[in-house]
Structure 1
Amino acid sequence: MHTLFKTLLIALLAGFSAPGFAQWKLVWADEFTQEGAPDAQTWNFEQGFVRNHEAQWYQPANATCKDGFLIIEARKERVSNPAYKPGSENWKEKQEFAEYTSASITTRNKKTWQYGRFEMRARINTQPGMWPAFWTLGEKGEWPDNGEIDIMEYYRGDLLANLAWGSGERFKPIWNSVKKPVKEFDDPQWADKFHIWRMDWDEQFVRLYVDDQLLTSQEIDKAANVKNKSVQPFRQPHYMVLNLAIGGDNGGDPAGTQFPARFEVDYVRVYEKAR
């Protein structure tokens, strides 16, 4: 029933013009109504150890679509690391095993967007060590010169709304980062509910929201790379990333967490200004 309702709703949204939405036209959406793996025409899987010294091994088996939801599941399970090299100082090689698995999907090399309204309705897991995120990266340039926008990020009790761009020193970003403690919502059931995260991005500003509450904004002219002027981080197409990380540089200790743990996504939608 949920899947049928979403199919009808998306057809209505394509021509929706109620107050507040009159200026927006739906140009793409994934309602996750297919059963099984995410749509291969849209999504790629990241695999293995990827970033931030995180504890999980990313693998396709941990992302599935069921009953109109994308479910990214973190599991406590041991998997072998085929890149293991005894004595290596590289964090991706020195671990013989990963003790956790999860999934990360991206639209890189398949779908990108420049400007618009990006929206996700999801329920996130806020147990210790969980690090879910919905974010974008610019398609050109090395990080952080390409630009990063964290529409939703959570760890250690805080929601984060972030933007990053190049400082002039390789791999060292300039951040516009805002933390919102979940306890400030004054809702003991907040983590049990679905919420809507949104980015409004145009030629002048990026604005990031949760449930229509503005968390941060950034004037694009003031977010230019210090040295790499050939790449404009927020005036180029970006691709999306949806992932559930565990531990690592920021996520915290998952030792006391109950697994499996889920990041459940109802939909992701992109609107552009109507003309």
Structure 2
Amino acid sequence: MAGMKFVPGISMALALCVAAEEETTAGDAPAGYQLVFSQEFSEDGPPDEEVWHFEEGFTRNEEDQWYQKENAFCEGGHLVIEARREKVVNPHYREDSRSWRRSRPFAEYTSASLHSKPEYAWTYGWFEIRAKIVTEEGLWPAIWTTGHGRWPHAGEIDLMEYYNHGLLANVAWAGPGGRAKWDTGYLPMAEIGGEDWDQEFHTWVMEWTPEKIVLSVDGRVLNTTLLKDTVNEVGERKSPFHEPQRLRLNLALGGDRGGDPDKASYPSRYLIDYVRVYQKKDD
């Protein structure tokens, strides 16, 4: 399209969105970086299914929610991930099952979890996500990435998790015996405003280079991980963080970290204003 700068790796619909936002996004780019991916969530309706995959059912960490795509939608310029108190029949229920996924006849809550499709994955860059979370017990919102392949060998980066009355910023890879080895940063809510902090939007950033991963919120560094320290201790003895990672956005409930979901208010909305990925121009 004449006069429009095409951004590599995104659809025409996304390119139009980038063109509309070009004045602001170009100004936000760190020196030497260019925008390669943008989701501004400016049109009401479902998220772009060319970009996002939606998880379904019970997934991980013995969490209490049933994931379903209808709990994620764009409204008022934001991606909304909505947690609801509602009963859903588990079609995989087996009375004699020892699996936590199959032994529950119902889910008492629903929510949504999205991750970018395999073609939307990046190695290194400046990842910026502006979002608003609710900091109540029972809620476990997250912004994170995973690599292609089995976990934790393919790596995980948590730009943001909220639970246990604080924000977490984590990096994981394969440690002894193939178990996850974590480098974790934790910031208590009491240090950044307590109960009033979640009344506003905040900006999470990951600066990921061949040497390190730096995770921050509103310019405050929560964790710095050197890639030389992230070598898998089983299988191929290399760091997974020289390979592409896909982006994930979800709102979990309860489970082994989130606390008691009965203590949260419903419906509860996790709002994402935008997702932007920049990479160095010579990469």
TM-score, normalisation: structure 2: 0.90
Counterpart for residue 3 of structure 1: none
SS state at 2:228 partner: helix
The reply on whether 1:96 has 2:105 as its aligned counterpart is: yes
Counterpart for residue 66 of structure 1: 75
C-alpha distance in structure 1 between counterparts of 2:55 and 2:88, whole Å: 16
What is the aligned-residue identity percentage? 43
The answer to whether the 8 Å contact 1:105/1:242 transfers is yes
1:84 maps to amino acid: Y
Equivalent of 1:131 in 127, 132, 140: 140
**How much has 1:15 moved relative to structure 2?**
3.9
Per-residue Cα deviation, 1:1-52 (whole angstroms, up to 9, x for no partner): xxxxx87762114543x7x822221111100112211001100000000000
**How much has 1:273 moved relative to structure 2?**
1.5
Per-residue Cα deviation, 1:120-168 (whole angstroms, up to 9, x for no partner): 00000111100000000011x3100000000011012110000000014
C-alpha distance in structure 1 between counterparts of 2:98 and 2:140, whole Å: 25
The reply on whether 1:216 has 2:223 as its aligned counterpart is: yes
Counterpart for residue 11 of structure 1: 22
**How much has 1:188 moved relative to structure 2?**
4.3
Equivalent of 1:263 in 260, 264, 270: 270
SS state at 2:181 partner: strand
SS state at 1:169 partner: helix
C-alpha distance in structure 2 between counterparts of 1:66 and 1:51, whole Å: 28
Further displaced range: 184-193 or 202-211: 184-193
Structure 2 unmatched ranges of 5 or more: 1-16
Counterpart for residue 256 of structure 2: 249
2:23 maps to amino acid: L
1:125 maps to amino acid: V
The answer to whether the 8 Å contact 1:129/1:156 transfers is no
1:209 maps to amino acid: S
SS state at 1:144 partner: coil
Equivalent of 1:149 in 153, 157, 160: 157
**How much has 1:114 moved relative to structure 2?**
0.5
C-alpha distance in structure 2 between counterparts of 1:204 and 1:231, whole Å: 13
The reply on whether 1:167 has 2:178 as its aligned counterpart is: no
Structure 1 unmatched ranges of 5 or more: 1-5
The answer to whether the 8 Å contact 1:55/1:248 transfers is yes
1:244 maps to amino acid: L
SS state at 2:122 partner: coil
Question: What does residue range 33-44 of structure 1 map to in structure 2 within 5 Å?
Answer: 33-44=42-53
**How much has 1:228 moved relative to structure 2?**
1.8
Per-residue Cα deviation, 1:228-250 (whole angstroms, up to 9, x for no partner): 22663101000010000000000
The answer to whether the 8 Å contact 1:168/1:228 transfers is no
SS state at 1:248 partner: coil
Equivalent of 2:166 in 154, 158, 165: 158
Counterpart for residue 229 of structure 1: 236
1:57 maps to amino acid: W
The answer to whether the 8 Å contact 2:124/2:210 transfers is yes
C-alpha distance in structure 2 between counterparts of 1:75 and 1:14, whole Å: 33
Q: Which runs of 4+ in 1 moved over 4 A?
A: 6-9
SS state at 1:198 partner: strand
TM-score, normalisation: structure 1: 0.92
**How much has 1:59 moved relative to structure 2?**
0.1
CA RMSD of aligned residues (A): 1.6
Aligned length, in residue pairs: 266
C-alpha distance in structure 2 between counterparts of 1:41 and 1:181, whole Å: 37
The answer to whether the 8 Å contact 1:56/1:99 transfers is yes
**How much has 1:178 moved relative to structure 2?**
1.3
Equivalent of 2:120 in 111, 114, 117: 111
